[in-house]
Amino acid sequence: MDAIPTTNATKGAPESTKNKTLETGASLVQNFAPPKRLCAHLNAFHAYASDPSRSVEANHYCAHLNEDVRQCLLYDSPEANARLIGVEYMIKPHLYEKLDAEERKLWHSHVYEVKSGMLIMPVPEAVPDSVWEVAENKEMEEVVVLYGKVFHLWQTDRGDALPLGMPQLMTSFTSDDQLPVEKLKDRDARFGVSSERKKAVREYIKEPEIHPDADATWKK
């Protein structure tokens, strides 16, 4: 499908003062309980399962549904006007192992994301890096064992001005030769982080055994 040109008509008009006022009023009186549960902002890259040469940076805003399941909203940036581009579910191994074989192929591991330093938890302003690194590593200890299932709804990498077509199954990277190095360098620069340093400080995190049905994109 050819991309729709990015024009003012397809992008939509700037938000009106009326809508901004309505949003402010609603935030004061309505109960936005689900998004209030968001507890972690993670940043990483996803590859298209149908074409792993294409990849997209995703900012994950995650919440625990329960002890074994997380659900994340994915945005193309951490800014207030970011586009909602997809969703990811993360589950613990004992749930993954109960899925049927075909379903398991839709899920990816997080071992490489964590151990390579590619997955980060962006540091808030005014928090010392050394303090945040401890919290980030604790989060990585949790994520490293999880399996994720991701669908992107908006193919921003091809310039679509709207979320067009069917949802796209995505996956994560499992080795250095798959990683979009230049995109990673750009991301690190924007967030003021070093993936190489994160890789080094995460050496202590034990690598779990990955189920053979996971990461099916890279086994075709």
- Report pLDDT digits (tens) over 1-36: 445 555 444 566 664 554 444 444 444 557 778 777
Which among 187, 36, 75 has a CA at the least distance from the CA of 122? 187
Q: Are 89 and 8 in contact (CB under 8 A)?
A: no
Rounded Cα distance, 159 and 26, in Å: 32
pTM of the model: 0.86
The 10s digit of each residue's pLDDT in 42-59 is 999 999 999 999 999 999
Rounded Cα distance, 171 and 208, in Å: 18
CA distance between the termini of the chain: 24
Q: Which two tokens stand for residue 136?
A: 């980030």
What residues does each domain of the chain span?
A: 38-219
The 10s digit of each residue's pLDDT in 130-189 is 899 999 999 999 999 999 999 999 999 999 999 999 999 999 999 999 999 999 999 999
The mean pLDDT of 72-101, rounded to a whole number, is: 97
Q: Are 55 and 180 in contact (CB under 8 A)?
A: yes
